[in-house]
A and B are shown apart, each in its own frame.
Chain A
Amino acid sequence: MTDPPVESVRVGRGAALWSVAAAVCMAISVAGSYWIAPEDVEGPIQRLVFLHVPIAVVSLIAFGVACVAGLMYLRTRSQRWDDIVVVSCGLGLLFTVLAMITGSIWAKAFWGTWWSWQDARLVTYLIIGLIYAAFFVLRSSSDSGAQARFSAVFAVVAFASIPLSFWAVRTAESAIHPVALDRNGLQMDGPTALWFVIGHVAMTVVFIALLKVELLQRQMERRLSSIRLALEESAQ
């Protein structure tokens, strides 16, 4: 049995620092978006955009991280990359569900319905959510020898399907979703755009903090089971 290694302490400190940064960034972002940013002609419900869009964007970032980690796992076979794959997919799925819930609330306020099959992005997020939920079914049903390998391959396959889902659904339906960012840049005025960008930064920091904490937890769980195993062996 070994002493708690310096690495664990460093990782733990990193997770704590990112968590504090996430709390501060979110506090600034929420306060700015709800009290400082100018109110839109469409009323206070429009402020949901400061939360909804960053959540949706960060979910895609999480899936991108999972894909890169998957490719890295296939190259290196390092446990650490497998941890990043599974944690990123989990967080991405969580953010996808949150994006759908916030989107749904917005849809109820503006379109009078909780769900619209004509909204390409809402439908695409549902498809993406189903794909990444399936990731966990595959993972939990795989044998331990193949689990990390299958997870890595699936993370790459699933990420490749994201642009295809957007493409397919967009081809099927006319887009009625409001667009904040197009080829001409951000479609909002200066102060609103500022808080919109801050919202994205804050949500990204939240994602990094959650990722760090989850990774640390997985690392600690493994260490705990190895200690337990060593104790059982020494007791025999």
Chain B
Amino acid sequence: MSRSLRQIRALVRKDLWLEMRTRDTVVAMGLFVVIAMVILQFGFGTRETDLTRFAGGLLWVPITFAAVLGVGRSYVAEREQRVLDGLLVAPTSRFAMLIARAISITGYLLVVELVAIPLLGVFFVRGPYWGSVGWIALAALLADVAIGVLGTLVASMAVFTRARELVMPVIFLPLLLPVVVAAAGATHAVVGGHDMTSYTRYCVFLVGFSVLFALVAFATYEAVFDD
């Protein structure tokens, strides 16, 4: 196994171990998604039981906000326990650090979606839903990778600013809007009816997004940690 792969594996294992011991981030993200879904239901001002036409938004608005919380939270050890100093002093490739964190965030989001996707069917969709869960999960996986790559790049700047709690959502969410458009569109395409042409287009977009931002991150990530 090449050195970079070993580094990535070690870093992912470090993130997942930390998370398994504390269970801070994923549990809070999962709970947040449930709360946000309930708020959205009441926020619409309706007691309708079938909100199929809003399925994309009902799933992706909570996940997007949970991602912002999770990405920011995943840097707490780096910032407060000075883990980052240790990593930067060690001969670790910066890009390996980015890939590892993107994998960890993707993992967190996948766990959260294990709760969110079934809940969408239970709470809001009346009609055929469970047959399209596999398609929603595939689109969610692609969106999670995009969120992971972009989130890692953005968070590695935002968490080292003064008003980080505010800066993180303000800079991350607008950049994430195209992913929300595509992920919600893909969800809507398969929940509201099997429009596989639209679904495929959105999935291709999500792959393109991840690839482009991986290239941008490859070109710029070194500069983020220049000190």
A residues near B (Cβ < 8 Å) are 71, 74, 127, 130-131, 133-135, 137-138, 141-143, 145-146, 149-150, 152-154, 156-158, 160-161, 164-165, 167-169, 171-172
Per the bound structure, the CA–CA distance linking A172 and B57 in Å amounts to 13
Does B120 touch A at the CB level, under 8 Å?
no
Beta-carbon contact of A165 and B177 below 8 Å:
yes
Knowing A127-B177, A164-B178, A165-B178 touch, does A141 contact B205 (C-beta < 8 A)? no
Beta-carbon contact of B216 and A150 below 8 Å:
no
Give the size of the chain B interface in residues (CB under 8 angstroms): 36
List chain B residues, Cβ under 8 A from A168: 177-179, 181-182, 205, 209
List chain A residues, Cβ under 8 A from B164: 141
B143-199 residues at the A interface, CB under 8 angstroms: 153-154, 157-158, 160-164, 166-167, 170-171, 174-175, 177-179, 181-182, 185, 198
Per the bound structure, the CA–CA distance linking A156 and B157 in Å amounts to 13
Q: Is the interface of A mostly helix, strand, loop or mixed?
A: helix
Per the bound structure, the CA–CA distance linking A158 and B150 in Å amounts to 11
Per the bound structure, the CA–CA distance linking A146 and B227 in Å amounts to 8
B residues near A (Cβ < 8 Å) are 153-154, 157-158, 160-164, 166-167, 170-171, 174-175, 177-179, 181-182, 185, 198, 201-202, 205, 208-209, 212-213, 216, 219-220, 223-224, 226-227
- Return the contact of A74 from the options B153, B202, B223 (Cβ within 8 A): B223
A128 to chain B, nearest CB (A): 9
Per the bound structure, the CA–CA distance linking A157 and B158 in Å amounts to 14
Per the bound structure, the CA–CA distance linking A152 and B178 in Å amounts to 22
A86 to chain B, nearest CB (A): 15
- Return the contact of B213 from the options A134, A146, A160, A169 (Cβ within 8 A): A160
List chain A residues, Cβ under 8 A from B163: 141
* Residue of B with least CB distance to A168: B178
Listed by A's residue number, 16 A-B pairs whose Cβ atoms lie within 8 Å are A133-B174, A137-B170, A142-B157, A143-B161, A149-B224, A153-B157, A158-B175, A164-B205, A165-B177, A167-B208, A168-B181, A168-B182, A171-B181, A171-B198, A171-B202, A172-B182
Per the bound structure, the CA–CA distance linking A114 and B202 in Å amounts to 28
Beta-carbon contact of A157 and B175 below 8 Å:
yes
B158 to chain A, nearest CB (A): 7
List chain B residues, Cβ under 8 A from A142: 157, 160-162
Beta-carbon contact of A141 and B162 below 8 Å:
yes
